[in-house]
Amino acid sequence: MRRFTRKLMAAASAAALFTLCAPASAGEAPAAISAEALEPGQYVWTPERETEGEIEIVVSVPMQLAYVYRGGTLIGVSTVSTGRPGYDTPTGSFNILQKRREHYSNLYDNAPMPFMQRLTWDGIALHGGAIPGHPDSHGCIRFPQAFARRLFAATEVGGSVHVIDAAPEAPEMALALARSGGGYFGMGGPDPELEGVD
């Protein structure tokens, strides 16, 4: 019981710990800023919080935020720009199919897509680009350039990316929400009324 209680306390304080250890430099959020208060183009990157395990990325379309986990521990949060109306970013779980440090779109006027990580063969990818504070891409998920470079260095082909049409209440809940397919409701788990419903 004590071990379980310690895990709950650690999860509850994850966001607070996360915001205290981010350095302030070009594009990065100041050390004291919370993940929820990031301005367009800002991010927090603290890979030292966990150095082992697989990288998983969760993108919240409504929040225009991405959460990066290594071994289940939150190591990064970034503002993003997803697809504008008519070019919606698809939701679901994807694997990184291909990575290219320098890439140009063959669909949209040879537009640069630096640090490209392909999610679908029909053109959806993670890459560096402009972050205006709202959905503005042709369906791709844009990151601030410096964050895209850091993320590119940390991921591997085959890595998991979850794109969700939900707004997690806290950064540490995003991964559980994505893994449950949207049936995660905080520490209480799936809504009992939904269990067994087709």
Q: What is the pLDDT of residues 67-88, one digit of tens each?
A: 999 999 999 999 999 999 999 9
**What pLDDT does residue 186 have?**
39
Nearest to 53 by CA among 127, 156, 150: 156
Residue 65 CA to residue 77 CA, distance in Å, equals 7
Does residue 193 belong to any structural domain of this protein?
Answer: no
pLDDT reading at 118 higher than 50: yes
How many structural domains compose the chain? 1
Q: What is the pLDDT of residues 23-68, one digit of tens each?
A: 444 465 544 456 668 999 999 999 999 999 999 999 999 999 999 9
User: Kind and range of the H or E element at 67?
Assistant: strand 65-70
Which residue range(s) make up the domain with 112?
2-182
Contacts for 114 with CB less than 8 Å, ≥ 6 apart: 101, 102, 103, 127, 128, 129, 145, 148, 149
171: in domain: yes
The answer to whether residue 189 is domain-embedded is: no
Cβ neighbours of residue 53 under 8 Å, at least 6 residues apart? 70, 71, 72, 73
State residue 107's pLDDT score: 65
Which pLDDT band, with edges at 50, 70 and 90, does 91 fall under? very high
Rounded Cα distance, 117 and 188, in Å: 34
Looking at residue 112, which CATH number applies to its domain? 2.40.440.10
| pLDDT tier, 8 (very low <50, low <70, confident <90, very high otherwise) | very low
